[in-house]
Chain A
Amino acid sequence: AQSVTQLDSQVPVFEEAPVELRCNYSSSVSVYLFWYVQYPNQGLQLLLKYLSGSTLVKGINGFEAEFNKSQTSFHLRKPSVHISDTAEYFCAVSDYTNAGKSTFGDGTTLTVKP
Chain B
Amino acid sequence: KAGVTQTPRYLIKTRGQQVTLSCSPISGHRSVSWYQQTPGQGLQFLFEYFSETQRNKGNFPGRFSGRQFSNSRSEMNVSTLELGDSALYLCASSPRREPGNTIYFGEGSWLTVV
Contacts and interface: CB of A to CB of B under 8 A. Distances in A.
A107 B107 CA distance: 17
A106 B99 contact: no
Interface in A66-114: 90, 94-96, 98-107
Contacts of A103: 45
A85 to B, nearest CB: 19
B84 interface: no
Contacts of B17: none
Given A100-B31, A100-B97, A103-B45, A43 B4 contact: yes
Interface residues of A, number: 25
Contact of A106 (B33, B42, B50): B42
Interface string B87-114: 0001010000111101111111000000
B37 to A, nearest CB: 9
A42 interface: yes
Contacts, number: 65
Interface residues of B, number: 27
A52 to B, nearest CB: 8
A101 B92 CA distance: 11
B107 A42 contact: yes
B77 interface: no
A51 B105 contact: no
A32 B99 contact: yes
Given A49-B100, A51-B100, A100-B31, A43 B105 contact: yes
Contacts of A55: none
A99 B107 contact: no
B41 interface: yes
A102 B103 contact: yes
A46 B101 CA distance: 11
A42 B35 CA distance: 14
A90 B42 contact: yes
B108 A99 contact: no
